Amino acid sequence: MKFIVKNKSTKGYQRLLDLKRVNGNYSNVKNDISQSDYIRDEVLTSLLEEQGFICAYCMRQIDLSNSTIEHIIGQNYIENGQELGKENQINYDNFLAVCKGTLCRSQLHCDKNRANYQKERPLFANPLKNIIIQNINFSEKGAVYYKNFIKLEEISKLKNHLISDEDSNIRYDLEVVLNLNCQNLKEKRALIIKAIKKLSDNGRKKEVLKKLLSKYEIKNDNKYSEFCEVVIKYIIKKI
Ligand SMILES: [Zn+2]
């Protein structure tokens, strides 16, 4: 995950404000009727630009053709009797652009896997919260973890939702709800770390790493590199 800053000056933000004014709802965004497709594409394009064209959860590179709109507060989510999901269904700040969650063959990941949980569970691993993103790390084997590495079996022992402390909830989101440690994602991240290690395997290690870091920290042609945070976190640990 990479920290996302919401941009209120985008076309997509404006489109949703206009829709709110005429009492529209999310079906006006997602359905393929009249000008709705147009709204969906504009909103999704704004989200993609905001995120540098990487999935808000797994950081795979995405574009208009292979991404979808995700609600941070799930559309059916109710908290203490309040229909928070409905209230935020066309709130731009509640939207993320995500991949289709199909990289891991038989398993789903990202919002496709979260769909099973979002009725009763809010999102704890929220990419809009920088303090959380700062504490997400990656092992050299490509596993994503929060604060300190805890074995998967320990996390899976935790029950689905309403765990008392926030750290456990964030871990449960990364590991179970979003399934970000599915085999293929882990392997892809491990390969990137291996490549960076190899590149920096010479006498001028720090210099090379610093150069790489500045490359991965910025957008190139509006786009971040796939899995950029994996590289950034690895290099920061090494220099
Ligand atoms: Zn994803």
Residue 230's pLDDT is 96
Structural domain contains residue 238 = no
Residue 119's pLDDT is 82
Structural domain contains residue 84 = yes
Residue 32's pLDDT is 46
Residue 130 C-alpha to ligand 1 middle, in angstroms?
19
Is there a contact between 171 and 161 (Cβ–Cβ < 8 Å)? no
pLDDT < 50 regions, the chain: 32-33
Strand partners, 54: 61
Residue 121's pLDDT is 86
Residue 120 C-alpha to ligand 1 middle, in angstroms?
21
Residue 69 C-alpha to ligand 1 middle, in angstroms?
11
Structural domain contains residue 192 = no
Residue 120's pLDDT is 80
Residue 58 C-alpha to ligand 1 middle, in angstroms?
4
Q: Smallest Cα–Cα separation from 127: which of 67, 230, 190, 51?
A: 51
Structural domain contains residue 96 = yes
Domain hosting residue 24, numbered range: 11-183
Who's near 24: CB < 8 A, 6+ residues apart? 90
The whole-angstrom separation of Cα 86 and Cα 88 is: 5
The whole-angstrom separation of Cα 45 and Cα 67 is: 10
Residue 19 C-alpha to ligand 1 middle, in angstroms?
27
Structural domain contains residue 211 = no
pTM: 0.92
Structural domain contains residue 200 = no
Residue 37's pLDDT is 58
Structural domain contains residue 159 = yes
Coil, strand, or helix at residue 181? coil
Residue 208 C-alpha to ligand 1 middle, in angstroms?
29
Structural domain contains residue 225 = no
How many structural domains comprise the chain? Answer: 1
